[in-house]
Amino acid sequence: MNSPSAETGQTPAMQGKTVVISGATSGIGEVAALALARQGARIVLIARDRERAERTRQRLQGAAPGTTHPVHYADLAQLTEMKRVAAEIAAAEPHIDVLINNAGALFGRRELTADGLERTFATNHLAYFVVTRLLLERLRATPAARIVSTASDAHRGARLDFADLQSERRYRGLAVYGRSKLMNILFTRELARRLAGSGVTANCLHPGFVATRFGEAGSGALMRWGLRFAKRFALDPQQGAATLIFLATSPSVREVTGEYFHRCRPVDPTPAARSDADARQLWEISAQLAGLTD
């Protein structure tokens, strides 16, 4: 186990806490996981790529010697995998202090998963919904637990068409990605409402435009070129991870819930992202699709 700091004599801020995080084998997720491990947290990874996950796990071991950081493997685009990995974690972890939903992707062309769901919707929204929903019992059992979800200012300009959540009528990768980020904010809004009085908080964030691997795997050649050019002017992952780490650790947001943060401050998302009616409807449709109705 990590010992108190030799310099300050104080126990690290996250000592003894369990953090479950997806999307942590690169980019801001990995930076956040390493920072939290250095603060004493035990990191539980949800990952798809075994080689990258093992590299991250080794880095975590180096950052926090003596602490075991388990990895659970799943393709979070697949509904059965979302449910399986959440059930495995719930069975293995008696309490969860922080759940960080950070996995996400951008796809240049429309693809369907084995469940018949549009891949961006499944990966960027439904996985957040399913994993969180199935870990709520463990979060509720933990004093002052937190749920942190990575959204984006890409939601600005996006609107939800509940008759076409799967983007069958028209598909443009960046626009569909923006709608998925709008869903992340609406999901957080409804989740916070449902958790009111439980002691569990739910917030989301815009990390900024960050130079990471994001968008390189699922996008077309032109989009990849555009993203690589834009990343020359982007934040580095350490800067992008700052708000994620802040929401997971800061005492100042211990009782703050249902908010959208940027640069460690709450900011207003668009009016579309503040619609309680849309937040409730999205929750209900997601629950039906996932077979997790209350």
Active-site annotation, residues: 177
Looking only at the bridges linking them, the beta strands covering 265-267 and 260-262 are antiparallel
Alpha-carbon distance of 44 to 18, in angstroms, equals: 7
For residue 193, give the nearest of 183, 182, 203 by alpha carbon: 203
Which string of b and e fits 186-199 if b means at least 16 CB within 10 Å?
bbbbbbbeebeeee
Q: Which residues contact 256 (CB under 8 A, 6 or more apart)?
A: 201, 203, 266
Quickly count helices (H) and strands (E) in the chain: 10, 8
Separation between Cα atoms, residue 136 and residue 155, nearest integer Å: 26
Asked if residue 263 lies in contact with residue 243, where contact means CB atoms within 8 angstroms, the answer is yes
The token pair that represents 138 in the structure block: 């463990």
H/E stretch holding 99: strand 98-101
Backbone angles phi, psi at 76, to 5 degrees: -75, 10
Q: Are 136 and 89 spatial neighbours (Cβ–Cβ below 8 Å)?
A: no
User: CA–CA separation, 44 vs 141, rounded Å?
Assistant: 17
